[in-house]
Amino acid sequence: MSGVDGAALVLRHEAGALVLAGDPARYGKPLRIDFAEGRAAHRRRFGGGRGQLIARACGLAAGVTPSVVDATAGLGRDAFVLASLGAEVLLVERVAQIHALLEDGLARAASDADTAEIVARMRLAHGDATRELAALVAASGVAPQVVHLDPMFPHREKSALVKKEMRLFRELAGDDDDAPRLLEAALDVATHRVVVKRPRKAPPIAGPAPQHVIEGKTSRYDLYVHRSLKG
């Protein structure tokens, strides 16, 4: 497989995990998904529980734990947070290589005592949510009360300032130029609300205006609400 500029990216097994690797000078360490250790473990223990921005945006509150479709799963970090808080989550990922990393990460987490119960609430589907969201959700058996979107936002920084891990990811995924169509598909499928993560100063996705906004230091969540979530 190749990224831009002909930079080769390869999937291989390394230290018991599937990794995506390229030129270390350009991409840094091989990319792997690990839900049991590292950043995911730290956030699970110390992230702030249901007080976290994403939990509030997705409607997790006392006595309310909606099911969530993460239609732009990426590296699965947001989905894992939601599942760790009790939500049943469907992860939809369109890039085959990232889907393979997610599949491997979930399988390893399922055999770890600290994460097995969490990842049992996570289901993975491979497909393009802009075109196949309704069918993927129907096949999964997960009720789409909340659809979470985190479209790849075009970055304007010089490439040297972009984290090497994100550079690798972007070369595979590209920018989500079809974000308006993705939002439209999500609004059609979600029964209660659509939640869109955006850089704090970025404009909303073209289309209907969000009814609510939850803002953090560097990012915000635009909320499109069909009806209230209740316990």
Residue list, annotated binding site for S-adenosyl-L-methionine: 77-78, 93-94, 150
Strand, coil or helix: what is 227? Answer: coil
Q: Which residue numbers belong to the known binding site? A: 77-78, 93-94, 150
Contact 100, 31 (CB under 8 A): no
The two three-digit tokens of residue 87, written as one number: 């939500």
Q: Give the Å distances, CA to CA, from 77 to 43, 84, 91, 145, 194.
A: 9, 11, 10, 20, 18
Contact 49, 40 (CB under 8 A): no
CB under 8 Å to 23, separation ≥6 — which residues?
7, 8
